Copies of this chain bind each other. A is one copy, B any other.
């Protein structure tokens, strides 16, 4: 009765679904664990939809290899722990990912974890059921131009408990990302005068001969590329410091770049009306031989 086609990978079970998408932008869609039953609906029973009760990660599959898989899985495990997703099965997810990656060759991958709603209200159901959604879309290209940044007028949501997590409450990112234009390709989310991150990136600036990146203890996402870069900088004995950075400091920086898993390092050539040289960033890129 339903539109389910058994999953062609791993062992097919009646709880695994494969659905083709009409949209050209999305190639394939996988949903397992708690799936759409013929007589109920996915949408209204997912607490990810009802309350943003969930978390996700976005990465790249290149030549069948899920880049930095361990870091993505650690991020998911950490979020599951912090948000009390007790039934999230990391080993099962991992076993599902392996054949998927091999088959996919090149793709952008998003893994979303949500809980099902079994009774009305915000409270987490005592009988927790976890849903895992895996989405694949075409490998995005890397921009062949440098990034121009503006300060978003949308403020960032501040919550010291949720800070750092890539949870599903991303309305401020949505609104800030929608402030970009053809002129400015990325917007910086701020808490008052304090700059936290880009709408879809983390920020690094060079100031007084040293690299800095904003502290993320009140807001923002602990990006995997940010983490990898901090590690790489330290390994190369290049000073890097997490610090509270205000708008004025960012505007007066000597160089800047933004990072995420899809872009890697994206040099910044302008912040608001102020032009920035990118040679320090290019120098860093070749020094570290840092790829996404």
**Are B37 and A22 in contact, CB atoms less than 8 angstroms apart?**
yes
**A120 and B133 in contact (CB under 8 A), knowing A51-B171, A114-B49, A171-B51?**
no
Is A124 among interface residues, defined by CB-CB distance under 8 A?
Answer: yes
CB pair A122 B174 closer than 8 Å: yes
Asked if B45 and A42 make an inter-chain contact with CB atoms under 8 angstroms apart, the answer reads no
Label chain A's interface by main secondary structure: loop
Q: A123-B180, A171-B169 in contact; A44/B133 too (CB < 8 A)?
A: yes
> In the complex the two chains form, is A41's CB within 8 Å of B25's CB?
no
Residue-by-residue, is A120-139 near B (CB-CB < 8 Å gives 1, otherwise 0)? 11111000000001010100
Give A263 Cβ to nearest chain B Cβ, in Å: 11
- A39 and B21 in contact, given A160-B155, A161-B154 (Cβ under 8 angstroms): yes
Pick the contact of A173 from B39, B51, B173, B180 — CB < 8 Å?
A: B51
Given A25-B119, A122-B170, A161-B154, A40–B52 Cβ distance below 8 Å?
Answer: no
| Interface size counted on chain A using CB atoms at 8 A | 71
Q: Nearest-CB distance from A56 to chain B (Å)?
A: 8
Q: Tell me if A159 and B156 are in contact (CB < 8 A).
A: yes
Query: Across the interface, which residues of B come within 8 angstroms of A123, CB to CB?
Result: 174, 177-178, 180
Chain B residues within an 8 Å CB radius of A200: 121-122
Q: Does A91 contact B (CB under 8 A)?
A: no
Name the residue on B nearest A43 (C-beta). Answer: B42
Q: List B contacts of A1 (CB < 8 A).
A: 3
Q: Is the CB of B171 within 8 A of A168?
A: yes
User: A84: which B residues are within 8 A, CB to CB?
Assistant: 175, 178
Q: Which residues of B contact A249 (CB under 8 A)?
A: none
7 closest pairs, A vs B, by CB? A52-B52, A169-B169, A122-B177, A51-B170, A157-B159, A49-B49, A42-B43
Not counting A46-B49, A123-B174, A158-B158, a sample of 13 additional A-B residue pairs whose C-beta atoms are within 8 angstroms of each other reads A3-B38, A19-B40, A21-B39, A26-B45, A26-B120, A31-B44, A44-B112, A51-B170, A83-B171, A120-B140, A161-B175, A168-B169, A168-B171
